[in-house]
Amino acid sequence: MLIGIVGAPNKGKSTLFSALTMNQVQIADYPFTTIDPNKGIAYATVRCACTSLGVKCNARGSLCSNGIRRVPVNLIDVAGLVEGAHEGRGMGNKFLNDVAAADALLMVADASGTTDPFGNRTTGADPVYDVEMVESEIAEWITEIIVKHMPQITRNKDGVAALADVLAGVMVGKPEIERALESTGLIGAKINWSAEETLRFSTELIKIAKPMLIVANKMDVNGAETGFAALQKRFGDKIVGISAAVELALAKAEQSGVIDSVGKGFKIIGNATPDQRSALEYIQRFESGTNISSARDLINQVVFDLLGYIVVYPVEDEHKYTDGSGNILPDAILLKRGSTARDLAYKIHTDIGARMLHALDCRSHMMIAKDKVLNDGDIVKIVSTAR
Which of helix, strand or coil describes residue 13?
Answer: helix
- Specify the range with the lowest mean pLDDT, choosing from 126-130, 146-150, 249-253, 359-363: 249-253
Per residue in 56-80, pLDDT (tens digit) is 999 987 889 889 999 999 999 987 7
How far apart, in whole angstroms, are the C-alpha atoms of residue 39 and residue 77? 6
In the predicted structure, residue 106 carries a pLDDT above the cut 90: yes
pTM above 0.95, yes or no: no
Any residues with CB less than 8 A from the CB of 205 and at least 6 apart, and which?
142, 172, 176, 177, 180
Percent of residues, the chain, with pLDDT higher than 90:
63
How far apart, in whole angstroms, are the C-alpha atoms of residue 9 and residue 81? 6
pLDDT at 87: 63
When pLDDT is averaged across residues 207-232 and rounded to a whole number, the result is 94
pLDDT at 86: 61
Closest to 139 (Cα-Cα) out of 208, 70, 75, 188: 208
Question: How many angstroms separate the most distant Cα atoms in the chain?
Answer: 72
pLDDT at 23: 60
**Separation in Å, CA 98 to CA 6, 20, 240, 301:** 10, 19, 24, 22
When pLDDT is averaged across residues 285-303 and rounded to a whole number, the result is 83
152 CB neighbour count, 10 Å cutoff: 11
Percent of residues, the chain, with pLDDT higher than 70:
91
When pLDDT is averaged across residues 27-55 and rounded to a whole number, the result is 74
When pLDDT is averaged across residues 129-145 and rounded to a whole number, the result is 91
**Separation in Å, CA 130 to CA 3, 116, 202, 215:** 19, 9, 19, 11
In the predicted structure, residue 230 carries a pLDDT above the cut 50: yes
Per residue in 309-354, pLDDT (tens digit) is 999 999 999 999 999 999 999 999 999 999 999 999 999 999 999 9
pLDDT at 91: 47
Query: Helix count (H) and strand count (E) of the chain?
Result: 14, 14
Give me the domains of the chain, ranges plus CATH numbers.
Answer: 2-37+78-217 (1.10.8.470), 309-384 (3.10.20.30)
pLDDT at 317: 95
Between residues 322 and 86, the one the model is more confident about: 322
Cα 330 to chain centroid, rounded: 24
